[in-house]
Amino acid sequence: MSKNRPMSVRLSPDLDKQVADIARALDRPASWVIEQAIKDFVAVQARHLAAIDEGLRDADAGRVVAHDDVAAWVRSWGKPDELPIPECE
């Protein structure tokens, strides 16, 4: 079983109070709240970076949609003659 590594974090007074309030409401230590926040942030960033990599692979493979087609589709949103999602070229 591995031990968690201690780390120092500097928080603004407002953020420190928010963390303390959440910790108190959840009956957890502030360190637990901070760890959960970091886990959530890392998960979101990992998904974001994976999506960027997927998009770059698609672009490299030529699986792209023309900007003008996307722009026309977006401009049509909510209109009676809304366009279908554009297809890759």
pLDDT digits (tens, 9 = 90+) for 25-78: 999 999 999 999 999 999 999 999 999 999 999 999 999 999 999 999 999 999
If you average pLDDT over residues 7-18, what whole number do you get?
Answer: 96
- Per-residue confidence (pLDDT) for residue 1, from 0 to 100: 66
- Per-residue confidence (pLDDT) for residue 4, from 0 to 100: 87
Q: What is the dihedral of CA 9, 10, 14, 18, to 10 degrees?
A: 10
If you average pLDDT over residues 9-35, what whole number do you get?
Answer: 97
Dist. CA 80–CA 3, nearest whole Å:
59
Domains of the chain, by residue range, sit at 13-62
Which pTM does this prediction carry? Answer: 0.74
- Per-residue confidence (pLDDT) for residue 45, from 0 to 100: 98
